Structure 1
Amino acid sequence: PTVYAIPEYALKNADKDVGTLRDKTVLAFDKTKAAKLIVTRKDGAGFTLVKHDGAWHVDAPAGEGTERAPAMTRFLEDVAGLKGGTILDEHATDLGKYGLAKPDLMIAVSDDSGGSLGTILGTRAAAPEDSHVSADGSGVVYGVKSYVYDRIDKKASDFRTPPASPVPSGAAAVATPAAGAGILGGAAAPGQPEAPDDADTGDEDGDSGE
């Protein structure tokens, strides 16, 4: 038989178990069919995004500021592309064990007819522990890193740019000295010659000299 020598990294890349090779997409759905995302949060800061005429909007709650359409599109992509880092349980019968019986957040995805495309459940864990996510009804619980969980842990304010703060009415204007002007009663501005105190008419005694 022929024996080959290969670099160590090549062996590591090939040394995979079934769990590593498995697709760990939490909720598989066609994102092009998604028309509404209802996010329910344990802290009460839930919100709803809806798609109208090809663009996403914040449907609720009402708020001021400019909508950030790219951020909403990215959120949909993060929800559709959410993958677990590890599989914690494939047949979970007690979601409370993972904090998912009463999750920190639920993301319900539906199409334009109101048909459900699925719901993601998520509960954040204190670092450095993995947070827990699952698709409702799947029984599969995944662990995800905190930076991955951050992508779906959003509030309505993440999709709006706050309005500019108004300038207070009656604010006094600050006068700026003209360039080259000396400071009243003091030294001249930098780079400018100082003005004499009195005209030079003679010596200190007022004599014009001998």
Structure 2
Amino acid sequence: MTVYPRSMAPRRAFTLIELLVTLAIIGILAAILIPTVGKVRERAKIVEATADARSIMTAFKLYYATYGQWPTTNGKIFGSNNPDQSDWGKDAENSDGETVWDFITSMFKGGLGYDPDGRARNPQKVAFAPFPEDKIVDGNIVDPWGNPYKFKLDVDNDGRIPRFLEAHLDDPEKDQVWVGDTVIVWSRGPDGADWRKEEAEDDPKTW
């Protein structure tokens, strides 16, 4: 009988059954880990969106503390050429939520923040929230899913903001959500929808 030194002993190859078992184990582990990794990434996006929303909320509050007013006119968030202002943009409080327009984004970064009427809304050039460029698309601050953040302001100073536009609700008395704050900011979340209460359950928000 030939005796080989341990270092020279012939190595036994994997049998087909052993190879199949190994592949099966790898497949099972992948099936367990891939969904988990996906959930971790989605959770990270939610955390990021919540932090961004809070930064935007803080920026609005700092703006109000600096100038004693919101960047609105007659409660509307952007300008009009009509003297009676009848065609102004969405109401900054009683709407389905406004996106962060480019003049607001510019303002947050320390720019003058010219609104569509050509008025500088940040004459002191205060940098309220200088978001990085990769979070700004077409002038809007966007969430990790690529949608602009939305906000509402307490323009009537009653200390509360209606989250939903009542006209969008089947039963406004039952489903309306009132938030006790001067600013609310939210992301549409993973589903990209926030129109009704049931669609907004996954929305990262400031309240």
The structure number with the bigger radius of gyration is 1
Settle same-fold status: TM greater than 0.5: no
When the two structures are superposed, what TM-score results if normalisation uses the length of structure 1? 0.25
Larger strand proportion of the pair? 1
Larger helix proportion of the pair? 2
When the two structures are superposed, what TM-score results if normalisation uses the length of structure 2? 0.25
